[in-house]
Amino acid sequence: MLIVLLPECRQEEDLAQLPLYWWQLERDGQIVSQGQDALSTLKARFPTERLRALAPPMAVSLYRLVMPVRRAAAIRAALPFALEDQLSQDLEMLHCVAGPRRDDGLIAAAVIDDSRMQQWQAWIADSGWRLEALLPLPALHAEQPPASGLRVVPSPWPSAVPLALVTAQDQEPVLIESGLLGLWLKRRLADLPEAQKRVELRGYSAESLGLGSEIEVLDFSGDDAAAGGNAVLQAGLTASLAASPALNLLSGPYAASMAAPPWRKLRPLMVAAGVVLAIVLAQVMVEWLTLSRERDRLVAGIESVFNSSLPNSRMTPFPAEQFRQVLSGATGTTQESGGGFLYEVLSAVKASAGAKVVQFRASPTELDIELQLSSFAELETLRANLAGNSGLSESLQGADSTPEGVTARLKISRSAP
């Protein structure tokens, strides 16, 4: 978690590159690193960190109010009316936030100018950050009051002028300029009952603050001021990490979801979908390669069968290519049907006694045929009959003598007119 302390200045032109004090915290509140940088620099340095901001003490006023209602909705509705007598500004220009009910039964409340909220939100959004919470700085010390009276310690928070942190049981914590602390304490102690007129001092003396002898003063100025300041700072930073921090100013019209962005919830689903898609694409690619190899194997097998059946028929196009040529008319055949050509050839074969067709392959203008004949004499007679047909021309592709007679392979084509 990244905690930043917002500036007290209001000049918009100074905000873009204004260095802010920041602390990077572990889950248990331990400080990992700290420094002073602009928000844009922090975004580049900590792109994945969550961000919470602290409103400076001079920008926020804290109150404790008597509110008998218990329901949160009723408290929010009654809050402006409960604050009306304590505020001099128009309520329409202020942002009021109800906090928890303290141990004394009073409701804590925070009030801030709307213009500051709008300025801070726009500035943080322009820097690329998504703010989770905006907390009043003094409210981080509400859980550190003394048993009675007041406790005054030097503020451990960085600021332009020295500040004092004042905590009490009956009021919200206050950060006061050290130069005004003596006057403020006298007025504050005057309002306390006699039993509560006691002050615990760390880092200050009763003489420097002008406190009279009638005030019970517990002086801890001899303690290790550095160690005490570090403990106060650590306690405040730890309080800022609460899951539901009290007096979060990002409420009402400035509310921001504390949950993770919607896309972050879908990230596991998107990763799973990406993995499934990659597996499906890989499977499709493997199947495509397998089918391609199977196609090539089948093509080679078909060619092997035709080559073994008609070894001298390589001039005839491959059957699949032959079929494509016939469909597209790319073979240059005439419009005459191939049925007449086949009929003429088979009629001549039938006229030759003892000739039997073993297999053939035909196109509209060409025929490869394998015949079984009883002798070479019958083969020559058949060839003579075919040659005597003026529309046909034949060539002997091969002839073999077998125990059953003669096997011959002929290529017959239609003669050019």
Condensed to tens digits (0 to 9), the pLDDT of residues 138-155 reads 999 988 888 888 999 999
Look at residues 45, 56, 47 and name the one whose alpha carbon lies nearest to residue 21: 56
Comparing 171 with 310, the larger pLDDT belongs to: 171
**Residue 13: band (very low, low, confident or very high) from pLDDT cuts 50, 70, 90:** low
Distance CA 214, CA 103 (A): 28
Q: Which residues of 118-147 are buried (b: 16+ CB within 10 A; e: fewer)?
A: eebbebbeebebebbbbbbbbbbbbebbbe
The Cβ of residue 64 has, within 10 Å, a number of other Cβ atoms equal to 17
Lowest mean pLDDT among 13-22, 58-67, 104-113, 370-379: 13-22
Same topology, domains 2-259 and 319-414? Answer is no
Contact 413, 366 (CB under 8 A): yes
Secondary structure of residue 368 in the 3-state scheme: strand
Lowest mean pLDDT among 31-35, 62-66, 202-206, 313-317: 313-317
**Residue 315: band (very low, low, confident or very high) from pLDDT cuts 50, 70, 90:** very low
Distance CA 285, CA 279 (A): 10
The pair of three-digit structure tokens given for residue 329, joined into one six-digit string: 């008319």
The pair of three-digit structure tokens given for residue 151, joined into one six-digit string: 């406790």
Distance CA 321, CA 327 (A): 10
pLDDT confidence of residue 12: 54
Question: What is the residue extent of each domain of the chain?
Answer: 2-259, 261-309, 319-414
Secondary structure of residue 94 in the 3-state scheme: strand
The pair of three-digit structure tokens given for residue 174, joined into one six-digit string: 């206050």
CATH of 319-414 among 3.30.1360.100, 3.30.559.10, 1.10.3720.10, 3.20.20.410:
3.30.1360.100
Give this prediction's pTM.
0.60
Distance CA 254, CA 158 (A): 27
Give me the residues paired with residue 393 across strands: 413
Condensed to tens digits (0 to 9), the pLDDT of residues 266-280 reads 888 889 999 999 999
Contact 196, 160 (CB under 8 A): no
Percent of the chain with pLDDT over 90: 26
Cβ within 8 Å of residue 383, ≥6 positions away: 394, 396, 410
pLDDT of 363 above 80: no
Condensed to tens digits (0 to 9), the pLDDT of residues 340-350 reads 677 777 777 87
Architecture of domain 2-259 in this structure? 2-Layer Sandwich (3.30)
* DSSP codes of every residue in 70-126: -SHHHHHHHHHHHHGGG--S-GGGEEEEEEEE-TTSPEEEEEEEHHHHHHHHHHHHH
The Cβ of residue 237 has, within 10 Å, a number of other Cβ atoms equal to 21
pLDDT confidence of residue 334: 43
Distance CA 402, CA 77 (A): 113
* DSSP codes of every residue in 139-179: GGGTT---SSSEEEEE--S--SS-EEEEEESSS--EEEEGG
Give me the residues paired with residue 281 across strands: none
